[in-house]
Amino acid sequence: MKFMKLGSKPDSFQAEGDNIRYVATELATDLAINVGDVKFYLHKFPLLSKSARLQKLVNEESADEIQIGDIPGGPAAFEVCAKFCYGMTVTLNAYNVVAARCASEYLEMYETVEKGNLIYKIEVFLNSSIFRSWKDSIIVLQTTRSLHPWSDELKVVSRCLDSIALKASIDTSKVEWSYTYNRKKLPSENGSGDEAHWNGVRKQQMVPKDWWVEDLCELQMDLYKRVITTIKAKGSVPSKVIGEALQAYALRRLPGFSKGVIQSNDIAKHRALVEMIMRLLPLEKGSVPCGFMLRLLRAAVLLECAEMERNNLMGRISLQLDEASVGDLLFRAPPGEPTMYDVETVERLVEEFAMHQRSDEISRVDEFGEEIKSPLRLSESKARVVKLVDGYLAEISRDPNLPLAKFVNLANMVSGFPRPTHDGLYRAIDMYLKEHSEITKSERKKICKLMDCSKLSAEACMHAVQNERLPLRVVVQVLFFEQARASTSSAGGTTPPLPGPIGSLLPGGSHGSSRSAATTNTEDDWDGVPTQEEIRALKGQLATLRLGGPSERNGPDGQGRGDRAAANKVKGLLASKIFSRLWSSKDRQGGELSSSDTSESPGSANAGETKSTPSRSRRHSVS
């Protein structure tokens, strides 16, 4: 820390209690000056010879006691000025120099009163030492808060801001002063690794671009805002470094911020802080990590920040949503809400992301004037958001109060995005079915229609075929595609889409499969949950199917005949299973089936003819 000593006489100021100060000399004092609650017994000659204001006060009042209770810096600052007038030793440093400067201005200790007066000496010290020191400039800036408006009028604050901003904007190779940097450093900074030496000679340590970030975290909110604004105005600091500075300040000043909570009773103060950070965020896309902005949004929601700032922040987040993690999106619902998580906020983010993607696809540049992403980059961004949403759905599905409509709505928002595999969506659906076992058959059908069984991996299929929570129709589709994949993999082919004849067996099936002419009660059985015995039976039957014989596949119309053969066998098996369910239901009810239960469907007709007349069964299955 820089300092300056003034005067050469020994300090002879004495104190009596807390409120009396006097000079211990042989001459009796002839002037009493009240500064706040402290009374100074001094001599007129040394004081009036250097202070024009004291001259005026003594001459106007013609008294031996005067009041100067409004002097900036209070008794301590006045004592420094008084000692200077006596020629006593005074030490000025970054902690007291601004108070002494303001007090000397108040006392009008100008060069016109006496050459080499206190104002001149302090200005020399500020310009030659304080403003050239990084840490002293920060300390001085902090001391100005209690000295407004004097520190502003004397331009001490503006000179501090310029000094700090200039040093933060300087080329890192020219940084020669000490700074605080407790975060993870580069290997060359730590003096370790091969990069720190060249031919046995130690290289000069590299200074990180964000070397100044931690020191500025010591500033209070109003001063920090002015410093960052000045640094941004210089235009030399990269936007990413500004973003890192704001993130470090939030972590320092908001207890619990990194954990997504605000641990303080001073809500108004922290609300103002979060709003300030949101306004200071650089406009350049990618300058601030998406995870940090999401934590900032979470804090803004908890603190009920201004809606305009929140909306602007959400717009920024949606542009980088593909960089987020599931944990970043798990906002707690506001107090009084039945659900555990704030799903509406995530829906808005996904909706805005989709809107930006559509805009990017039809425009050549984005709103920041940057060159538009290539189609491949856009597709990759969408795929990452799909994976993000799938993981988020799996997490919020644990909430027993989550309505099905919210789950389906969020999943549908990304249904048009590229999704190489539906494993993540299946996991989310299975989690929801596990936690909400009381949902109806129609609701179970609705949520399962979100999933394309042909895009499940082998591991997911293995799990699905043993999953007692899935409806029968989904289990059948999974079994079919599992066997189809096994058949085609040996031939080097790809998994085919659900054939029309097989699809007709699955009324209301997902992703375009057509409805059959099954009755209402048969439809209910399709949506029912199969037993383990039925799953094993279906799997065993499909294992022997293999999509028809080689002669059928290799002929001119082999694919159609193979599909029809598969349709006949699967349809017969499923119809018999469903019919047995209906018959057992009749037995349990102890009466005849209603007219709708006994009405003959194509499936039930074929069930009785499968064994004796296979050709008739085949004709009827495709009619």
**Distance from C-alpha of 272 to C-alpha of 309, rounded to nearest angstrom:** 11
In the predicted model, what is the mean pLDDT of residues 363-378? 57
**SS3 state of residue 22:** strand
Q: For the segment 67-88, what is each residue's pLDDT rounded down to a tens digit?
A: 998 999 999 999 999 999 999 9
pLDDT of 279 higher than 70 = yes
Cis peptide before 501 (omega within 30 of 0): no
Average pLDDT over residues 325-347: 92
DSSP 8-state code for residue 224: H
pLDDT at 530: 59
Stretch among 219-228, 249-258, 261-270, 499-508 having the lowest mean pLDDT = 499-508
Q: Which of 91-105, 260-274, 510-524 has the highest mean pLDDT?
A: 91-105
Of residues 384 and 615, the one with the higher pLDDT is: 384
Give pLDDT, residue 515: 40
The reported pLDDT for the residue numbered 558 is 47
Per-residue pLDDT tens digits for 158-172: 999 999 999 999 999
- pLDDT > 90? residue 261: no
Please state, in angstroms and rounded to a whole number, the distance separating the CA atoms of residues 393 and 371.
33
Query: pLDDT confidence of 581, banded at 50, 70, 90?
Result: very low
Mean of pLDDT values over 344-355: 94
Residue 200 has pLDDT above 70, yes or no: no
The CA-atom distances, in angstroms, between 141 and each of 130, 164, 222, 251 are 11, 9, 11, 22
Of the candidates 244, 290, 312, 299, the residue with the CA atom closest to the CA atom of residue 385:
290
* Cβ atoms of 220 and 214 closer than 8 Å: no
Q: Are 489 and 461 in contact (CB under 8 A)?
A: no
Instruction: Please state, in angstroms and rounded to a whole number, the distance separating the CA atoms of residues 226 and 160.
Output: 11
How far, in Å, CA of 264 to CA of 273, rounded?
13
| Contact (Cβ atoms closer than 8 angstroms) between residue 331 and residue 314 | no
Measured CA to CA, the distance from residue 183 to residue 529 in angstroms comes to 55
564 has pLDDT over 60: no
* Helix pair 472-490, 532-543: axis angle to 10 deg: 30
Taking 80 as the threshold, does the pLDDT of residue 531 lie above it? no
How do 31-35 and 20-23 pair as beta strands?
unpaired
- Binned at pLDDT 50, 70 and 90, residue 287 comes out as very high
Instruction: Evaluate if residue 532 carries a pLDDT over 70.
Output: no
Can you spell out the DSSP letters for 533-575? HHHHHHHHHHHTTTTS-HHHHHSTTHHHHHHHHHHHHHHHHHH
Q: What's the CA gap between 198 and 534, in Å, rounded?
A: 73
- Residue 93 pLDDT more than 90? yes
Q: What local confidence, expressed as pLDDT, does residue 237 receive?
A: 95
221-234 and 267-280 are packed helices; what angle lies between their axes, rounded to 10 degrees? 0
pLDDT of residue 289: 94
The pTM is what?
0.75
Beta bridge partners of 41: 22, 32
Residue 561 binned pLDDT confidence (cut-offs 50, 70, 90): low
**Residue that wins the pLDDT comparison between 620 and 176:** 176
Q: What is the pLDDT of residues 466-494, one digit of tens each?
A: 888 888 888 888 888 877 777 766 555 55
Tokens of 554: 């290799």
pLDDT band of residue 495 (cuts 50, 70, 90) is low
Band (pLDDT 50/70/90 cuts) for residue 426 is: very high
**What is the reported pLDDT for 422?**
93
Percentage of the chain beyond pLDDT 70 is 71
596 falls in which pLDDT band (50, 70, 90)?
Answer: very low
User: Which of the two residues, 378 and 585, has the higher pLDDT score?
Assistant: 378
- pLDDT value for 257: 86
43-68 residue pLDDT tens: 999 999 999 999 999 988 777 889 99
Query: Within 13 Å of residue 72, how many CA atoms lie on the same side as its CB?
Result: 25
CATH 3.30.710.10 location in the chain: 3-128
pLDDT tier for residue 546 given thresholds of 50, 70 and 90: very low
Beta bridge partners of 20: 16, 39
H/E stretch holding 227: helix 221-234
- pLDDT, mean over the chain: 80
Query: What is the average per-residue pLDDT within 329-342?
Result: 91
- The answer as to CATH 3.30.710.10 being correct for domain 3-128 is yes
- Helix or strand run (H / E) with residue 248: helix 239-253
What does the block give as tokens for 87?
């020629």
- Report whether 216 contacts 191 (CB < 8 A): no
Beta bridge mates, 82: none
Element housing 156 (H / E): helix 156-169
Q: 197-198 and 201-202 as β-strands: parallel, antiparallel, unpaired?
A: antiparallel
Distances (CA, A) of 483 to 110, 328, 498, 499: 97, 39, 12, 13
Residue 465 in this model has a pLDDT that exceeds 60: yes
pLDDT of residue 205: 62
Which is more confidently placed, 356 or 105?
105
What are φ and ψ of residue 371, in 5° steps? -65, 140
